[in-house]
Structure 1
Amino acid sequence: MRRIAALSPAPLAAALVFALGLSAGSRAQENTLPDMGSSAATLLTPAEESEYGAYTLYQLRHYGYVLEDPLIDSWLDGMGHRLAAVSDRPQQDFTFFMMRDRDINAFATLGGYIGVNAGLVLTAQSEDEVAGVVSHEISHVTQRHVLRAVERAKRDQLPIMLAMLGAIVASQSSNSRNSSDAIPAAVVGAQALAMQRQIDYTRSNESEADRIGIQTLYRSGYNVNGMADFFERMDRATRGNSGGYQVPSYLQSHPVTTTRISEARDRAARLQRESPRLVSDTRPAYSPLLPASLSTMGGGSANAAPPPPMFHWARERLRVLSATSPGAAVKEYKSLSDLASGRLSDAQRYGLALAQMKAGFPTAAETAFQSLAKEHPDNLWIALALAETAHVAKSDDIARARFEELLRRNPQDRAISLSYALVLNDIGTPQAGRRAQAVLRPLLTSSADDPLFQKNFGRASELAGDLPRASEAYAESAFLNGRAEDALSQFNSLLKREDVDYIQRARIEARIAAITPIVLDMRRQGMKPEDQGPDSG
């Protein structure tokens, strides 16, 4: 179970600037990165890298950027760890997460944390293309490019802040009516400068990340041309639009040129000629390092047949979950249907039914899901949707029967357990709460760093009348969503309760000891509790 030790927002800001393209903020902050020379390998320890990367993810969650969905998480984890297991550093820990933004982007930050935007998946035409981009980002981590970028950020932070302050001073001296707008403009200017320095610096690493990434792609059993295919798709999209077209964020930090595409194709062809394929080109390669629990179709033994490809189903689920509303997603499918002369693929039919269910039309969704279930009887995503649809239709007995059957066939499956707990918590009775607790309890150890789990376990415990356990889970959820101050306050309040037993008290005291240095460091940096805001999840 990975926990976060004390860290300073200053190196976190540096990591965000150069790994995510964000600014270090409008307040000058003390640079507390250790002064250990120019070697990237000694700038931060692996534990510190993991700490900074984890808290970056927590902050992204806090502002609502991360898309939390058990099925999407399972699909992305399966693909990411399949690649990571055959990378140059298979011992490196990786965490893959989905961003809800429809802009085309992907990024790697400290500690092996890799984010993929929903827009990238929606643009891709195959899982091989997404895997090509993810393998490229994995290579940025394994080749220490991200850590070197942080080292550069350490040197660049002061000039960027001085440039920003100079612009602010100049604007404050002006008598212009628009001088009040100059401070935000100066901040944006500093952001642009930081982003440009990131681009200039990382271009020198792109060729290496392409080369290593293609090797990883090949060893994992994906189509080795997946990376070049996606780059070519991006290049065509950019050249095919007028001057008003907004260049995707991914192209700003990963410029695509004809030379780069041709080099990627040449490398792929050379690998296919010179290295014998150890696995079938049409069958995914599953490394023994890949946990069986990452299967997107539920549990199974290591000798079981790998699950069928789920890319198209994941893409349509993301289309619905990343839309501005379920109604907007329904309209989007109407447009797709019109373009296809009324013929949607099975995965698109699933997406439309999912949108209808979430928009409050369970009858239409039930009909569509039942039809799809006959054609795809082993598809867990459809079976889960049928159980959820029954709940939306207020047929809770049917919903619970469907969930219980899914759990019987796939015990301790994270997606089933969390989806069932969500429904039980929505039912809201003490009995439902106790059942939700029982469903989630086997996942307690493996899901300690999962905010969706903690939030649902907290609600289940609350319904069941186990208030101390509910408070503990809510406090963990607050911390995992970037609200360290709020989490510390909740833990301190919980410690005063008389109904907390010895074991739970020891757990709470350990969490207080771990979180207190983080909160004190934030206070020293001028970060107030109200700056952290409410839980966006």
Structure 2
Amino acid sequence: MLRYALTWLITLLLSLSVMVSALSPAWSQTNLDLSLPSLTSSNTQVINGEEVRLGRAWLRQFRAHAPAWEDPISEDYVNTLVARLLPHSELSGIDTVVTLVASDRLNAFAVPGGVIGINAGLFAFAEQEAAMVSVLAHELGHLSQRHYARGKARAEQMRLPAMAAMLAGMLVAASGGGDVGIAAAVGSQAALYQDQLAYSRRFEQEADRIGLQAMASAGYDPQATVDLFRTMQRQLTLQGGNPPEFLLTHPLTESRITDAQSRANQIQVTHPRAEDLAYHLVRARALLAIYDRDPSQAATRLKRSNPPEAAQRYLAALIDAEKKQTDSALRQLDTLAQAHPDLAMLPASAVDVALKAGRVNDAIERARRQLRLMPGYQPTQLMLGEALLQTNPNDAYFILNELADQRPEDPQVFALLAEAAGRSEREAWGHLARAEHQQLTGHIDRAIQQLDVAQEIAKRHNDLTASNRIKQRREAFIGYRETMEEFQ
């Protein structure tokens, strides 16, 4: 079972922040665009930039301390849901970043900068896709209404230092600082939150309003939100003084449930979506991650929710793979893929099983076959790149290099790209990619050291393209470090 969940206080303070040609030129330009903007004036657009600057810097620190649920298939699915909701969420002009957390606790969060976090435990709790969508829609509602940036005039002068100090306390607590970190976090957020406490219920209702309309416009029944609230309320009653983390950060009152019910009754879903098997497959993956020491518990819990038979067969195949019964697992996955040819995650899961079993050539063949039929499916591109590291690092490099352009916030991509570059004799670019991985995971000083090594190698080989790129990234990394120091 995943035992790496953050303490409830850390998650509480996190969600409160809501309120209150070797390497291609395209990849280089994409990463340049990731520079965290500075605050230069007091207009609304710049405040937005400051939120992005702090939120993205915080994400890097969060990755350094929180356990990641590294599952490209599940992450791609969540990104698909977010993309489906975004056009209806009154949120524009910002790129969202999804991070999956290896925690069995029921929680989700959003912070300034468009960062959306989902615990594996939320999949276990939400038995239907509409329930998961309701949570994502609510978090997008918080972002669209800029609840962190809003508040009383008195909070205006203390907002940014309060956020920096609050996140610093969270990071201390997350890294084992215990009572010291908790005290710092609580003390720092108290003054800001004291002024905004009266606004919290209004913020939740605003996020509910945006979320209900967004999910209905995307084809989901808003009644799922009310049903989820009722389920949480029952759980709160059963657990007494130990409520789910999500309720600690999202106050749930009878008046809020009544208001949500009233709004849901008035919203019509003009183009309802059919229940998606993909959700149940990802839920199976989450349950297996949570119950990794006893997969039979994952199967029991999945069956309890009466999922489609295909989801149960899928989980059985994944369990077989865990038991090293690779042939059985692949046969079941192939049969499911033939029955559901539009579900990209089914052949991708077979690629994953083959790769983890050490059947590299089989994984490569399967990945290439899928990408001919479903070009651009990023989880399979990632796995193909990883598999090719064993047989053709040069091909792996070009695949991962292209993927890095598409996923500039993905540490997994840059970790593999660094290895591919090193194995294909692109030493300077390999150190640069490793530096990108280090900065994305919050290890900024190590990242700058990697850039220094890369620069020495580039000069030795007279690689002016690499040298210029490294200089540009070093300047950006220095800016990242200055922002991260606000949390220390």
Q: Structure 2 length as normaliser, TM-score?
A: 0.80
Out of 298, 301, 307, the residue aligned to residue 333 of structure 1 is 298
Out of 399, 402, 416, the residue aligned to residue 380 of structure 2 is 416
| Equivalent-residue separation in structure 2 for 1:409 and 1:36 (angstroms) | 50
Q: Which residue identity does 2:261 align to in structure 1?
A: R
> Where does residue 234 of structure 2 map in the other structure?
236
| Equivalent-residue separation in structure 2 for 1:15 and 1:149 (angstroms) | 17
Task: Find the residue that maps to 2:431 and give its secondary structure.
Answer: helix
Task: Tell me if structure 2 keeps the 8 A contact 1:96–1:115.
Answer: yes
Within 5 A, what are the aligned runs for 1:477-516?
477-497=437-457, 498-499=460-461, 501-516=463-478
Out of 375, 388, 393, the residue aligned to residue 339 of structure 2 is 375
Q: Which residue identity does 1:249 align to in structure 2?
A: E
Task: Tell me if structure 2 keeps the 8 A contact 1:475–1:490.
Answer: yes
Out of 357, 366, 389, the residue aligned to residue 353 of structure 2 is 389
Distance change >3 Å, CA 78–CA 266, structure 1 → 2: same
> Where does residue 273 of structure 2 map in the other structure?
282
Query: Within the alignment, does 1:255 sit opposite 2:217 as a pair?
Result: no
1:442-462 per-position Cα deviation (integer Å, ceiling 9, x unaligned): 334222332111111111122
C-alpha displacement of 1:117:
1.7
Distance change >3 Å, CA 346–CA 152, structure 1 → 2: farther
> Where does residue 400 of structure 2 map in the other structure?
440
Task: Find the residue that maps to 2:267 and give its secondary structure.
Answer: helix
1:418-444 per-position Cα deviation (integer Å, ceiling 9, x unaligned): 01222333x3xxx43122123223334
Within 5 A, what are the aligned runs for 1:201-216?
201-216=199-214
Of 68-77 and 372-381, deviating more is 372-381
| Equivalent-residue separation in structure 1 for 2:355 and 2:228 (angstroms) | 39
1:161-188 per-position Cα deviation (integer Å, ceiling 9, x unaligned): 9xxxxxxxxxxxxxxxxxxxxx954643
C-alpha displacement of 1:396:
3.0
Within 5 A, what are the aligned runs for 1:513-524?
513-519=475-481
Task: Find the residue that maps to 1:255 and give its secondary structure.
Answer: coil
Task: Tell me if structure 1 keeps the 8 A contact 2:103–2:290.
Answer: yes
Q: Which residue identity does 2:288 align to in structure 1?
A: V
Q: Deviating runs (4+, > 6 A) in structure 1?
A: 33-37
Task: Find the residue that maps to 2:150 and give its secondary structure.
Answer: helix
Of 59-68 and 247-256, deviating more is 59-68
C-alpha displacement of 1:135:
1.4
Q: Structure 1 length as normaliser, TM-score?
A: 0.73
| Equivalent-residue separation in structure 1 for 2:14 and 2:462 (angstroms) | 39
Q: Which runs of 5+ in 1 are unaligned?
A: 1-13, 23-32, 162-182, 285-307, 528-537
Task: Tell me if structure 1 keeps the 8 A contact 2:97–2:409.
Answer: no
- In angstroms, what is the RMSD of aligned CA positions? 3.6
Q: Once the two structures are aligned, what percentage of the paired residues are identical?
A: 25
| Equivalent-residue separation in structure 2 for 1:337 and 1:315 (angstroms) | 8
| Equivalent-residue separation in structure 1 for 2:106 and 2:46 (angstroms) | 30
> Where does residue 99 of structure 1 map in the other structure?
101
C-alpha displacement of 1:361:
3.4
> Where does residue 224 of structure 2 map in the other structure?
226
Task: Find the residue that maps to 1:85 and give its secondary structure.
Answer: helix
Distance change >3 Å, CA 35–CA 418, structure 1 → 2: closer
| Equivalent-residue separation in structure 1 for 2:327 and 2:130 (angstroms) | 36
Task: Find the residue that maps to 1:111 and give its secondary structure.
Answer: coil
Query: Within the alignment, does 1:266 sit opposite 2:262 as a pair?
Result: yes
C-alpha displacement of 1:34:
7.2
Task: Find the residue that maps to 2:148 and give its secondary structure.
Answer: helix
Query: Within the alignment, does 1:318 sit opposite 2:286 as a pair?
Result: yes
Distance change >3 Å, CA 392–CA 16, structure 1 → 2: closer
| Equivalent-residue separation in structure 2 for 1:358 and 1:422 (angstroms) | 20
Query: Within the alignment, does 1:345 sit opposite 2:316 as a pair?
Result: no
Q: Which residue identity does 2:297 align to in structure 1?
A: E
C-alpha displacement of 1:506:
1.0
Task: Tell me if structure 2 keeps the 8 A contact 1:76–1:97.
Answer: no
Task: Tell me if structure 1 keeps the 8 A contact 2:140–2:211.
Answer: yes
Distance change >3 Å, CA 522–CA 96, structure 1 → 2: closer
1:451-510 per-position Cα deviation (integer Å, ceiling 9, x unaligned): 111111111122222222211111110011111111111101211111251111111100
Out of 50, 53, 59, the residue aligned to residue 55 of structure 2 is 53
CA radius of gyration, larger in: 1
C-alpha displacement of 1:235:
0.9
Task: Find the residue that maps to 1:280 and give its secondary structure.
Answer: coil
Task: Tell me if structure 2 keeps the 8 A contact 1:388–1:423.
Answer: no
Task: Find the residue that maps to 1:89 and give its secondary structure.
Answer: coil
- Give the structure with the higher percent helix: 2
| Equivalent-residue separation in structure 2 for 1:337 and 1:50 (angstroms) | 38
| Equivalent-residue separation in structure 2 for 1:383 and 1:103 (angstroms) | 30
1:384-414 per-position Cα deviation (integer Å, ceiling 9, x unaligned): 2222333344433322211111122223321
Task: Find the residue that maps to 2:113 and give its secondary structure.
Answer: helix
> Where does residue 17 of structure 2 map in the other structure?
19
| Equivalent-residue separation in structure 2 for 1:222 and 1:124 (angstroms) | 14
| Equivalent-residue separation in structure 2 for 1:412 and 1:488 (angstroms) | 32
| Equivalent-residue separation in structure 1 for 2:403 and 2:40 (angstroms) | 41
Task: Tell me if structure 2 keeps the 8 A contact 1:412–1:443.
Answer: no
Q: Which runs of 5+ in 2 are unaligned?
A: 1-11, 21-37, 166-176
Number of residue pairs the alignment of both structures matches:
442
| Equivalent-residue separation in structure 1 for 2:15 and 2:376 (angstroms) | 39
Q: Which residue identity does 2:412 align to in structure 1?
A: L
